[in-house]
Copies of this chain bind each other. A is one copy, B any other.
């Protein structure tokens, strides 16, 4: 199958190229990148040296599948003709994640470039929407933070064991901010430093609410979602907190066991959502498509603690996009995604 990558020159795009290059079912037929158009992909990015194709301004080949790794708005605009022609697409940007156009406008502060496709788009978390993904031509790939937060919380929300009053304290590596050049991303500013940012709200907030509200038993999730920048390149870890619903679980250690069973059973058949016995570490998922999840109870406060981590560029972006492609195209869901994490 011939695939095209729009904007191969950002981190998500590069990572798509890295993963697709080893995918048994596809060939990268075309890859775009405005500022580097005309140069060879493998020359610009030495780790892709064997990808001997030219970066172009537009998708030049006829392709069967398109990934867009452009920023929002630009992404939907460039994808529109492909969607209209019926080419299957995964949009890694935020353009097709939200169901509610007003929410999109509120958070992204622009008019959506092609709202006509918002309804047909499917939110690309196979762990929640596998069947719909298998039948759609347009997937909105989840944000990196929501991928972790929703997977961390979905079992508890679905099982109805927590109050709809959640704190998600999220920590991300720097690559989540993209391959840009700004003082704030300068190594000297970030290294040996830790900070919270976006205290008035992060654009990934409505995704988490949308997905958890859809599976929960009550509307109107009261969510505090605070993001932090950690001095590392890859990795997201979310620590989620919510009061237990009184009486929903046995008390004491038995409650912990019960939580563990709820989580294990929920994800028993999932190839990339792994419930792990010990608190996970971001480096355990470095370079692979796993989301590692651990849930327990703070018995002193009767509060659920659910932790999830993943590689923001893989399960949080390019890997999830390939997983979605696999589901959309009927390939083995794990095709191209079998790399073990690089540790240490």
Chain A residues packing against B (C-beta within 8 Å): 11, 14, 18, 21-22, 43, 45-50, 165, 167, 169, 171, 173-175, 179-197, 199-201, 205, 222-224, 226, 228, 230-235, 237, 239, 241, 243, 274, 276-288, 292, 294, 296, 298, 300-303, 305, 307, 309, 338-344
10 contacts between A and B (CB under 8 A): A11-B344, A169-B239, A169-B241, A173-B194, A192-B232, A195-B281, A195-B309, A224-B300, A224-B303, A233-B344
Chain B residues within 8 Å of A300, by CB:
201, 205, 222-224
CB contact between A181 and one of B182, B195, B239 (< 8 Å): that residue: B182
**A47-B342, A191-B231, A224-B300 given. 17 additional CB < 8 A pairs?**
A11-B188, A14-B343, A43-B277, A47-B283, A169-B169, A171-B171, A173-B194, A174-B188, A179-B188, A179-B189, A179-B344, A181-B183, A185-B185, A196-B237, A196-B307, A199-B305, A228-B237
Give the complex CA separation of A243 and B193 in angstroms.
Answer: 28
Report the Cα distance A284→B48, complex, angstroms.
9
Given contacts A181-B181, A237-B196, contact A303 B342 (CB under 8 A): no
Q: Considering the chains assembled together, what is the distance between the CA atoms of A183 and B344 in angstroms?
A: 12
Q: Which of B22, B187, B237, B303 meets A194, CB within 8 Å? A: B237
Contact A186 B187 (CB under 8 A): yes
CA distance A285 to B195 in the complex (A): 12
Query: What separation, in Å, do the CA atoms of A119 and B50 have in the docked complex?
Result: 38
Distance of A128 Cα from B299 Cα, bound (Å): 29
A21 to B200, CA, bound (A): 35
Contact indicator B192/A235 (Cβ below 8 Å): yes
In the bound assembly, the distance between CA atoms of A284 and B231 in angstroms comes to 14
Indicate if the CB atoms of A194 and B232 lie closer than 8 Å: yes
Instruction: Evaluate contact between B195 and A186: CB separation under 8 angstroms.
Output: no
Which 3 A-B pairs give the minimum distances between C-beta atoms? A47-B341, A193-B283, A169-B169
A201 nearest in chain B by CB position: B300
